[in-house]
Amino acid sequence: MELANRLFFRLYQCANMLHKTGSRAVEAEGLTTQQWAVLGALSRDEAHAGMGIGELAKYLMVSRQNLAGLVSRMERDGHISVASDTRDRRSRIVTMTLSGRHVWQVLAQPKIRAYYEEILTDFSINDTAHALHYLLKILENMKRLDSEQLNGQDEDQAD
């Protein structure tokens, strides 16, 4: 229990520090870490035609309402644009603007790379892969619990 407590406490602190130091790294580009996650998602080949709000929220694992705020601010700043989906009038499609693509690929990428190198300076490829492996396992278990919590069921109340 003590070990688990420390693990999750440090996870909480790492995330806050990622937000604080990572956002500082790209402050000049007018970005935050969460916004670079959005740009990263939109820059993938499979997203070249844009992504729906719900689809993007699911990919990032944040609520649709939270993503709407993120998207609104990034649209305000000219990084992305949002348009109605012609095939489904409920949906809106998010795409990267030319300006956003420049900011992302030319300005921010080198700083993000430098940031990663600064944090992982004493990590081998193996270390990074192992750390990622553990986070993936924790994330999978959290997703499963998330689903169980929403479905009103738990191991304790199998029915």
Partner DNA sequence: GATATTATGACAACATGTTGCTATAAATAG
Partner DNA sequence: CTATTTATAGCAACATGTTGTCATAATATC
Name the residue nearer to DNA (CB basis): 106 or 145. 145
Name the residue nearer to a second copy (CB basis): 40 or 52. 40
Name the residue nearer to DNA (CB basis): 64 or 101. 64
Name the residue nearer to DNA (CB basis): 77 or 116. 77
Q: Is 41 exposed, middle or buried (0-12, 13-18, 19+ CB in 10 A)?
A: middle
List 84's β-bridge partners, or say none.
92
Q: Which does 91 bind (CB under 5 to 8 A by kind): DNA, a second copy, none?
A: DNA
What does the DSSP assignment read for 45-56? GGGTT-EEHHHH
Residue written as token pair 């070990």: 3
| Residue 20 interacting with DNA (CB under 7 A) | yes
| Residue 154 interacting with DNA (CB under 7 A) | no
Residues constituting the chain: 159
| Residue 32 interacting with DNA (CB under 7 A) | yes
What is the nearest approach in angstroms of DNA to the Cβ of residue 107?
Answer: 17
Q: Which does 99 bind (CB under 5 to 8 A by kind): DNA, a second copy, none?
A: none
Q: Cα angle vertex 113, ends 97, 118, to 5°?
A: 145
CA distances from 66 to 50, 56, 82, 148 (A): 18, 11, 15, 22
Side chain identity at 84, as an amino acid letter? Answer: S
Side chain identity at 28, as an amino acid letter? Answer: A
List residues binding DNA (CB under 7 A): 12, 16, 19-20, 24, 32, 34-35, 52-55, 57, 61-66, 68-70, 73, 85, 87-92
List residues binding a second copy (CB under 8 A): 1, 3-18, 20-22, 24, 33-34, 37, 40, 60-62, 112-123, 125, 127-132, 134-139, 141-143, 145-146, 149, 155-156
